[in-house]
Amino acid sequence: MLAATHAITGAIIAKVTPDPILGYALALASHPLLDYLPHWDLRTRHSRRPLQHTVVISLVDAGIGFFLGFLIAGNSVPPLRLLATMFVAQLPDWLEAPYVVFGWKFPPFSWIKSLQHTIHKKLPFPDGIYTQLILIFLLLLLSK
Ligand SMILES: [Zn+2]
C-alpha cells in the first residue's frame, strides 16, 4: 500500500476516535489490513532503481499522505495527535526502512520485512490504485 494511503487512513481514524490511544491502536492494526487489500505501490522492496531514488520517492509518498491527512482532519484533530496517528498507521513501513536503506538484515528489521512480505497482496497499475482510491472514498464516507 502507498505510504500516503496509510497516512490518510490514519488521519480518518484520528478524526473518528475520541481517545488517542484507541486511535493509535486502530492505526497500527489498519496497516496489515490495508496491505492485505490488493494494491499497487512503489516497489520500494524490489526495485532496481538507485537507493537514493527509493528513499526520496518514499519520503514524498509519506509527505503527500501527511499533507492530505491534514487537509482531511486538520480542523478536527490536534496537529500533534493527527501527525502521530498517521505516523503509527505507517509504522511497519518505517520499521522496515533500515532493512532496505541501511541493509540491516537482522531482527527485528528482518522479521518486519518478512512479515510484511507475507501479508502484501499486489495488483498491477492502474487497478492497484483504484482499490486504494475506493478504500479512501469509503473511509471518507464512513467518517462523515
Ligand atoms: Zn506495509
Ligand 1 midpoint to CA 1 (Å): 6
- Show the CA angle centred on residue 73, arms to residues 18 and 126, nearest 5°: 120
Rounded to an integer, the average pLDDT of 63-78 is: 97
Structural domains counted in the chain: 1
Q: Are 39 and 2 in contact (CB under 8 A)?
A: yes
The four Cα atoms 98, 101, 102, 105 give a dihedral, to 10 degrees, of 60
Ligand 1 midpoint to CA 93 (Å): 5
pTM: predicted TM-score of the whole model, two decimal places: 0.93
Confidence of residue 59 (pLDDT cuts 50, 70, 90): very high
Domain that holds residue 60: 3-143
Closest to 138 in 3D by CA, of 1, 18, 22, 12: 12
Ligand 1 midpoint to CA 60 (Å): 16
Confidence of residue 41 (pLDDT cuts 50, 70, 90): confident
